[in-house]
Each structure stands twice: as structure tokens, then as C-alpha cells.
């Protein structure tokens, strides 16, 4: 074996290696480039006057005084923006769905507190904000709808006069013999669950810089978005501009978590104003605006009931879900995405043949809800896992045992769930077994019994769930949406300098995709990982792409990157076969070199590129005509997508003085397929669980009866700090790889899906001597105090 054929030297395994992130040096030294850092010559600034009414008719609007203030350049009302931007709405082919138009700036009436009413454009942000108070707006208050059940009534005042009702979507389905299941049950358990409203809180609030070039008649939007491709496509319609003349760039983006996956009014206004004035326009959200206008999360009431046999077998499940989706149906996901996912995923990883559900998405006078890490599934897991524990208590079964009894087994895949989802094989049972072992369940139960003797409130929680990740074209991320979320594109190109660039339609908001996708492409191509430049978050990179959301980056990016790199490698091998005078099957690539196996005949890929592109004569014209260049564009469609299974277990203790809950131990056992980079994979799980702890214990957007947001600062809307998040263990279960290209499964959302359920179960377990079941989260000290007081009364 020669030096080239030593795989340890020439084919280092990048996929699976703990490669440190290439993004870090710039972010650690202050050299990152976030949207708020962008400064342009002649740039002007927008501030929005926002509605302080939740539902009101605008009776008059006088902005003349504001126009004359120093530094003010222009003032735009809703009517002004409507002349500059075509109306849009989030359509869907789903039956019983009503789309709403979303005016970028309110016209005639306002529908939630925080909705934009006037945009002021000024030389500085300070001047723009000063002018806001000089605008005189008259409102005639209308009946405010904050309760979705009231809003769903047929005689409720309508938010949108052109619609039949406030019920924006409704879906009902049943499979199997549900009534029979309940009739046969040894025990049933059920109640009303409430999963309150939260908000993403990216530490970087949303921001946009729009630049319309009058000469080129082209628009560039730098934006804190997860979906540059979706924005580009919609802005093309809104502004009647062809795609190539709109470029959406997401540079360094400070977190997304789903909150940056929607089209936002401020983005449209920035573009409209830049085109109107011919100047660069900047808008940066402040934190209060962010808490009131970035798509809120969750907010469902679920009436659910489960029927079990004496041995714990689940016989039937039924649920009625009301999702409070806020004032409009958000683009592109629609008002269906969150509530419909609750019923689709409610049966979870369990074998449930008899299931009936109804779901309604109801408009209220609140901020729009959109996607947030987990989308619907944190509620599914919370309700299902609570029901299982409640049922297990009734039949005297251990919570882990009832899960083991009902989790799908390895020989049952693919399994079509009662809601229609199809699970491919994933380690459902092994995750539970590994979590149980790793946390030392039996020992923990003994500890708990001893603690209980001392009067301490110690509880053990378990949650098992499955999620579909890397969802391909067979199943849309939200049903019936007008966009394609089922494919993703990658272009791999080696140019005439020999440099490798991999371009994607994906965008990164901290997931480290510049690193992981370079690992995948380098491995497939046979070059060093540092030699691959990765281009993300720029719509000029590939013809179609949607972005990063729904735990799809690794599956889609890894798949498309593998396919494109493989195609370029085939071209390299063809050219090398000619240049090295060998059969193509004898050519190997690695570490940036090509060589003939078993010989010393070799060259660098850089030299090969030069030979093809620049040294005319070295590669015959016929071959050059055939392969064109060292470049390939490939589209990957995982069709069904793949299943990621996990079990979370935790130990909590509730302080009997403060009623505060502390998470003492936390274990995640998950099957996320082939891991590209364990450093990054672990980080996704840790971060996801931390957000799930916030959802379980702390985070809640609170509206009063008038629809005012009472949690409009980070002092009022509290998120976990280092004090609330325990040190946790993440176990990647050793299991068969899925059929996705590369064997990757998505894992971005899992932590947030399992944690609320796991912690709610642990708190209920801790308080089980008092007969308390957690049915509403966050389980704040105040809620726990009230439950304990009621139980003792």
C-alpha cells in the first residue's frame, strides 16, 4: 500500500467527527455580521407606531405634525403601503380553511395590540421614534376577543368581516372503533389540558435592511430570516419583480427557533419604502416589539381522553383541540400548522388503532401564532404523556411499563399512525430502555420513596415521543400550503482556482451548518474539510430553496450536499482517468488528491481543475464538452421524511416553601440516525431541552381581558438562565440508520418536544400523594401553590 492508499491519511472520516465550528472565530471576536450591523450610505430608519388597542376601528389618523419634525423624511399609513405592495395571504388547499389578508400596516381597523398603524421614516432611529408620539390616531374600540372558545361561537363578533366566522380552520377525523375502545376499557383518564402561549425570544430580535437599486431595478433584502427562499418568492409577487432582481440574504442570524420562519410586515414595509424613496432602509426591532409581534407559539386547549385495558394496552384515544391562532393566518404556514400538528402527532410513538379527533384554529385579538421549535408536538407529547400517567395510576401500573407496553416495536415498522402519519423504523423501545437504565430508574424510585417519608416532593418524569423530520414532498410541513417544503437544492462547484464551494438554499441561525455541511461535502468529494466553503442564506446561490426549519437542515442539506458532491466526484474521476491514464474504477479521491489506486500516480484536485479549465490541450475537447465543468446541482427530496424517536426522563423536586420546581437530573435518549458532528448534535439537544424547561416552568405570554400584552419585557416574560437548566446527559442510541441519503435524521426540535411533558409528569408524580395532576403549563410556583391549596382544602 502506498501513502495515498492509507485511508487514515487520505480519507479522514469527517462525518461523525467532533469538528470545531468554523463559524466560531468570527463570532468570538466580534467580527460576525448581523443585520443590525449593516450600515449603508444614505440609509434611513423606520420606526412603527403600533396599536394600543386589541380590536378597534381607526376613526382618524393625523400624521402631519410628525412629518414636520426634524429628521423625519416620510410617513406611511396602511393605505400608502397598500399602494406600494400587492396584498397577500396564506392560502391552503385544506378543506374548511379561511385565509386572511394580512395588511403590512393596518388599514381601517386594528386586530391586536402591537399591530403596525403608521411607519415613520427618518434620518436616525432616534428621530423616527421621537416622531411616533406626534401621530394622532383615533380609535373606536370594538369587542375584544381574547378567549378562543368565545371567538369560535357562531354569534361572536368577527375579526375579519369578509369571512364566515372566526374559525379559520377545522378538521375532524376518526379511525377504528373509538366508542368500542372506551366501552371495553378497564380504566379511562381524561380532562381538559391547557398549553399556554409562549414566544421564541431569539436574543437577536428581528431586523431588515432593504436596498432598492433604481438603476438595476433590483431589490436586496438583508433579513434575520430562516426562510430566504420563501421570502424571495413571495416578495416577487408582492412587488411584481422577477426573482433574479430580488435577493434575500440572511447573514449571521442570532437564533431562529421557528420565530423567523414567517413573512413579516416589517420586511414588506422596509422593501416598499426603499423602493419608494430609492434609499437603503433599516428596521431593527426592539425587545418590546419583538415580544408583541414575532409569531407566538402553541396556545391550545385540548379536551382529551384515553381508554386502557387492565394490562395497560391503549384501546382508544379521543381529542378536541382549540388553537388560539391570533389575529391573522400567518404566511406561509397558515393558521393550521400549530393546532393541526397537535392532533396529527397526538398518538405519538404508541400503537393506537382507535383514534378520533377534532381541531379548530380560532382567530382572536392577539399576536399571530406561527412556528416555534416543536410546532404542535410539545402539546401532543404533553397531553399524551399526561394521559398515559393518569391512566397508569388508575390501573396501578408503572409509567415506564405502560410506555413499554404501547411503544411500537422494531418489527412493526413502517407503521401508519391513526392520524395518517407513517413512522419509518426508529429506536422507539431502545430509547426508553436506555433512558431508564441511564437515569438509574429503580434506584431513583427508592430515593423518591425515602424522600417522600421525609415529606419532600420529589418526582420522576418520563416522556416518549416521535417526530417526523426532513419531511419530503409526500407530506407538506403544513397541509395544503402553497409552497414546496419537500425538496432542497445544493450546488457543488470547483472553480478554475481549484476552490470548492457548496451552495445551499438553507440558512443557518446558529446550527453550525457551515461546519456540518462542509463535513458532508468534504467526505463525499475527498477533499479536506477546511477546503470547502459553504454558502448559505442567500437566494442568489441556487434557483430554489426554502430555508431551515422543521428539523430539516441535516436531512436535506446532508442529502443534497452528498448528491451534488457525488456528481462532481464522478466528473473528477473522469478527468483524472484521462490525465493519469488509468481506468476510472482505479481512481480514488481523498484529502484533496486524486490518484490511481496502488500506484504513486497522483495529482491534486487543484491541478486537475487547472488542467480542465485553463491548460487547454490537456483534456480533449470531447471530454470537456461532455462534462462542462466541475460543478453539479442536485435536488434532494426525502419524500416521506424520517422518524426521530426519543425518550426523556427527569427528576425534579418542588420546594414546599416557594413552590418552585428544580430539575435535578435530566436524560435524553434519542435516535437521530447518523450523527454528522457530536459537538453540534449534543448542543441541539441541550438547547432544545433548555427551551422546553422554559415552556414547562416559566414562559407564558399573558394577555389581559382587553388584549393587552402583560409580558412585553424580558423582566416579565422570563426565560431560563443557567440557574434553571441542569447539567444533562444526552445518549445517542445505537440503532439502524434510516433510508435518507447519508442516514441522517433531524434533531433540532426534539428537546423542546419532550421536556414539557417529561417535567409535567415529574411534578405530577411528586405531588401524587395529594392527587394533583398537572393539566396546565407552565407549572409556575403560583399554579402549583393553587393546586396544593385546593388539594388540601
Kindly list the residues in this chain that would bind another protein in the complex (CB under 8 A). 20-21, 23-25, 27-32, 34, 36-37, 39, 70, 126, 201-205, 252-255, 257, 286-287, 509-512, 679-680, 682-683, 686-691, 713-715, 719, 721-723, 725, 727-728, 751
Minimum CB separation from another protein for residue 507, in Å? Answer: 12
Residue 167 contacts residue 269 (beta carbons within 8 Å): no
Q: Which is nearer to another protein, 261 or 509 (CB)?
A: 509
Q: How far is the CB of 249 from another protein (least distance, A)?
A: 17
Element (H, E) at 683: helix 678-697
Q: Which residues contact 282 (CB under 8 A, 6 or more apart)?
A: 38, 40, 43, 44, 45, 46, 125, 207, 208, 209, 270
Nearer to another protein, 511 or 764 (CB): 511
Which of 203, 583 has the CB closer to another protein? Answer: 203
Q: Could you give the CA distance from residue 383 to residue 191 in angstroms, rounded to a whole number?
A: 10
Q: Would the CA dihedral through 330, 332, 335, 338 be positive or negative?
A: negative
Cell numbers placing 393? 395510576
Contact 511, 122 (CB under 8 A): no
Query: Do β-strands 281-284 and 44-50 pair in parallel, antiparallel, or remain unpaired?
Result: parallel
Of 35 and 483, CB closest to another protein: 35
CB 513 within 8 A of CB 122: no
Q: In the complex with another protein, which residue's Cβ is closer, 250 or 596?
A: 250
Q: Of the two residues 341 and 677, which places its CB atom closer to another protein in the complex?
A: 677
In angstroms, give the least distance from the CB of 290 to another protein: 9
Residues in the chain: 793
Q: Which is nearer to another protein, 541 or 693 (CB)?
A: 693
Take residue 295 and report the three cell numbers written for it.
409569531
Q: Are 301 and 192 a contacting pair, CB within 8 Å?
A: yes
Asked whether 779 and 195 are in contact (CB, 8 A), the reply is: no
Q: Collapse the DSSP code of 331 into the 3-class scheme (helix H, G, I; strand E, B; otherwise coil) and give the result.
A: coil
Minimum distance from residue 690 beta carbon to another protein (Å): 4
Q: How far is the CB of 19 from another protein (least distance, A)?
A: 11
C-alpha cell at 617: 490541450
- Closest to another protein by CB, 23 or 524: 23
- Which residue, 615 or 655, has its beta carbon nearer to another protein? 655
Tell me the three cell numbers of residue 476: 407538506
Rounded to a whole number of angstroms, the minimum distance from the CB of residue 285 to another protein is 10
Bridge partners of residue 47, in order along the sequence: 120
In the complex, minimum distance from the CB of residue 604 to another protein, in angstroms, rounded to a whole number: 28
Closest separation in Å from C-beta 31 to another protein:
7
- CA distance to 136, 631, 731, per residue, from 578 (Å): 76, 18, 48
Cβ 716 to another protein, closest distance in Å? 10
**Considering beta carbons, is residue 51 or 685 the nearer one to another protein?**
685
Q: How many CB atoms lie within 10 A of CB 12?
A: 14
Nearer to another protein, 304 or 690 (CB): 690
Q: Which is nearer to another protein, 1 or 723 (CB)?
A: 723
- Please, which residue, 36 or 675, has the CB nearer to another protein? 36
Of the candidates 49, 251, 67, 218, the one whose C-alpha atom is nearest the C-alpha of residue 138 is 49
Closest approach, Cβ 252 to another protein, in A, equals 7
Grid cell listed for 12: 479522514
Smallest gap from residue 26 Cβ to another protein (A): 8
Contact 175, 353 (CB under 8 A): yes
Whether the bond between 332 and the residue before it is cis, its omega within 30 degrees of 0, is yes
Closer residue to another protein, CB minimum distance, 115 or 682: 682
User: Nearest distance from residue 786's CB to another protein, in Å?
Assistant: 27
Instruction: For another protein, give the closer residue by CB, 201 or 381.
Output: 201
DSSP, residue by residue, 562-604? HHHHHHHHHHHHHHHHHHTTS-GGGEEEETTEEEETTSS-EEE
- Least Å distance between CB 202 and another protein? 6
Pick 277 or 725: Cβ nearer another protein: 725
Bridge partners, residue 631, by sequence: 493
Residue recorded with cell 397598500: 82
C-alpha distances out from residue 721 to 652, 698, 754, 784, Å: 17, 11, 19, 21
Rounded to the nearest whole angstrom, what is the least distance from the CB of residue 122 to another protein in the complex?
14
Q: Which is nearer to another protein, 32 or 243 (CB)?
A: 32
Query: What is the side-by-side strand order in the sheet with 246-249?
Result: 72-77, 116-122, 44-50, 281-284, 207-213, 218-223, 246-249
Question: Minimum Å distance from CB 685 to another protein?
Answer: 8
124-154 as b/e, with b when 16 or more CB fall inside 10 Å?
Answer: ebebbbbbbebbebebeebebbbbbeebbee
User: Shortest distance, CB of residue 520 to another protein, whole angstroms?
Assistant: 18
How near is the Cβ of 246 to another protein at its closest, in Å? 25
Question: b/e map of 401-420 (b: 16 or more CB within 10 Å)?
Answer: ebbbbbbbeeeeeebebbbe
**Rounded Cα distance, 103 and 481, in Å:** 20
Burial of 245 (0-12, 13-18, 19+ CB in 10 A): middle
Sequence-separated (6 or more) residues with CB below 8 Å from residue 489: 504, 505, 542, 543, 544, 545, 560, 633, 634, 635, 636
Number of H helices, E strands in the chain: 22, 29
Amino acid at each position: 500500500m502506498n501513502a495515498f492508499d492509507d485511508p487514515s491519511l487520505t480519507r479522514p472520516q469527517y462525518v461523525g467527527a467532533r469538528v470545531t465550528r468554523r463559524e466560531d472565530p468570527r463570532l468570538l471576536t466580534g467580527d460576525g455580521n448581523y443585520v443590525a450591523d449593516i450600515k449603508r450610505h444614505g440609509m434611513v430608519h423606520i420606526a412603527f407606531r403600533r396599536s394600543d388597542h386589541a380590536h378597534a376601528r381607526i376613526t382618524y389618523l393625523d400624521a402631519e405634525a410628525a412629518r414636520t419634525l426634524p429628521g423625519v423624511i416620510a410617513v406611511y399609513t396602511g393605505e400608502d403601503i397598500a399602494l406600494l405592495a400587492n396584498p397577500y395571504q396564506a392560502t391552503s388547499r385544506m378543506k374548511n380553511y379561511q385565509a386572511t389578508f394580512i395588511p403590512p400596516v393596518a388599514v381601517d381597523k386594528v386586530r391586536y395590540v402591537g399591530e403596525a398603524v403608521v411607519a415613520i421614516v427618518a434620518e436616525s432611529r432616534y428621530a423616527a421614534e421621537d416622531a411616533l408620539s406626534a401621530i394622532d390616531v383615533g380609535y373606536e374600540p370594538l369587542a375584544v376577543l381574547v378567549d378562543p372558545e368565545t371567538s369560535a361561537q357562531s354569534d361572536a363578533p368577527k375579526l375579519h368581516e369578509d369571512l364566515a366566522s372566526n374559525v379559520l380552520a377545522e378538521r375532524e377525523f376518526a379511525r377504528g372503533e373509538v366508542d368500542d375502545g372506551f366501552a371495553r376499557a378497564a380504566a379511562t383518564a381524561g380532562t381538559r389540558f391547557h398549553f399556554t402561549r409562549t414566544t421564541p425570544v431569539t436574543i437577536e430580535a428581528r431586523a431588515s435592511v432593504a436596498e432598492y437599486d433604481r438603476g438595476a431595478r433590483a431589490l436586496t433584502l438583508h433579513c434575520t430570516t430562516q426562510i430566504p427562499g420563501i421570502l424571495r418568492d413571495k416578495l416577487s409577487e408582492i412587488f411584481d419583480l422577477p426573482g433574479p432582481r430580488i435577493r434575500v440574504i440572511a447573514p449571521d442570524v442570532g437564533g431562529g427557533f421557528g420565530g423567523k420562519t414567517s413573512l413579516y410586515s416589517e420586511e414588506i414595509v422596509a422593501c416598499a419604502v426603499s423602493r419608494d424613496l430609492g434609499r437603503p432602509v433599516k428596521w431593527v426591532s426592539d425587545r418590546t416589539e419583538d415580544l408583541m409581534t414575532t409569531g407566538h407559539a402553541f396556545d391550545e386547549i385540548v379536551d382529551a381522553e384515553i381508554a386502557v385495558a387492565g394490562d395497560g394496552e391503549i384501546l382508544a384515544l379521543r381529542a378536541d383541540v382549540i388553537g388560539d391562532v391570533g389575529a391573522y393566518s400567518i404566511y406561509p404556514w397558515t393558521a393550521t400548522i400549530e393546532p393541526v400538528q397537535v392532533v396529527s402527532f397526538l398518538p405519538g410513538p404508541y400503537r393506537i388503532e382507535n383514534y378520533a379527533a377534532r381541531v379548530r384554529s380560532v382567530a382572536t385579538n392577539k399576536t399571530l401564532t406561527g412556528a416555534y421549535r416543536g410546532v404542535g408536538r410539545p402539546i401532543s407529547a404533553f397531553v399524551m404523556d399526561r394521559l398515559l400517567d393518569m391512566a397508569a395510576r388508575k390501573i396501578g401500573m408503572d409509567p415506564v411499563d405502560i410506555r413499554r407496553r404501547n411503544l411500537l416495536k422494531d418489527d412493526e415498522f413502517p407503521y401508519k399512525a391513526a392520524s395518517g402519519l407513517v413512522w419509518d423504523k426508529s429506536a422507539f423501545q431502545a430509547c426508553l430502555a436506555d433512558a431508564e437504565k441511564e437515569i438509574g430508574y429503580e434506584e431513583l424510585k427508592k430515593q423518591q420513596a425515602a424522600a417522600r417519608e421525609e415529606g419532600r416532593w420529589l418526582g420522576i418524569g418520563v416522556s416518549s415521543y416521535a417526530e417526523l423530520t426532513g419531511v419530503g414532498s409526500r407530506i407538506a410541513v403544513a397541509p395544503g400550503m402553497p409552497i414546496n417544503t419537500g425538496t432542497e437544492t445544493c450546488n457543488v462547484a470547483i472553480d478554475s482556482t481549484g476552490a470548492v464551494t457548496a451552495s445551499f438554499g438553507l440558512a443557518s441561525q446558529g446550527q453550525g451548518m457551515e461546519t456540518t455541511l462542509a463535513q458532508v461535502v468534504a467526505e463525499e468529494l475527498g477533499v479536506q474539510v477546511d477546503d470547502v466553503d459553504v454558502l448559505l442564506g442567500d437566494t442568489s446561490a441556487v434557483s430554489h430553496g426554502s430555508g431551515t426549519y422543521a428539523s430539516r437542515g441535516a436531512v436535506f442539506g446532508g442529502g443534497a450536499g452528498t448528491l451534488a458532491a457525488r456528481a462532481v466526484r464522478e466528473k473528477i474521476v473522469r478527468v483524472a482517468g484521462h490525465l493519469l491514464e488509468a481506468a476510472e474504477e482505479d481512481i480514488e479521491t481523498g484529502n484533496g488528491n486524486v490518484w490511481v489506486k496502488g500506484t504513486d500516480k497522483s495529482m491534486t484536485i487543484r491541478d486537475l481543475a487547472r488542467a480542465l479549465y485553463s491548460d487547454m490541450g490537456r483534456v480533449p475537447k470531447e471530454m470537456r464538452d461532455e462534462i462542462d465543468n466541475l460543478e453539479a446541482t442536485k435536488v434532494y427530496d426525502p419524500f416521506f421524511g424520517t422518524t426521530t424517536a426519543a425518550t426523556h426522563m427527569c427528576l425534579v423536586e418542588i420546594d414546599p416553601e416557594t413552590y418552585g420546581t428544580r430539575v435535578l437530573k435530566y436524560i435524553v435518549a434519542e435516535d437521530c440516525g447518523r450523527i454528522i458532528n457530536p459537538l453540534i448534535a449534543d448542543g441541539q439537544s441541550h438547547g432544545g431541552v433548555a427551551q422546553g424547561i422554559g415552556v414547562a416552568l416559566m414562559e407564558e405570554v399573558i394577555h389581559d381581558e382587553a388584549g393587552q400584552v402583560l409580558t412585553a419585557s424580558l423582566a416579565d416574560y422570563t426565560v431560563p438562565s443557567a440557574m434553571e437548566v441542569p447539567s444533562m446527559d444526552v445518549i445517542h442510541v445505537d440503532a439502524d440508520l434510516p433510508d435518507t441519503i447519508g442516514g441522517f435524521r433531524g434533531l433540532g426540535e426534539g428537546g423542546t418536544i419532550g421536556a414539557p411533558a417529561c417535567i409535567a409528569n415529574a411534578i405530577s408524580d411528586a405531588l401524587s400523594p395529594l392527587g394533583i395532576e398537572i393539566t396546565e403549563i407552565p407549572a409556575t410556583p403560583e399554579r402549583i401553590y393553587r393546586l396544593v391549596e385546593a388539594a388540601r382544602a
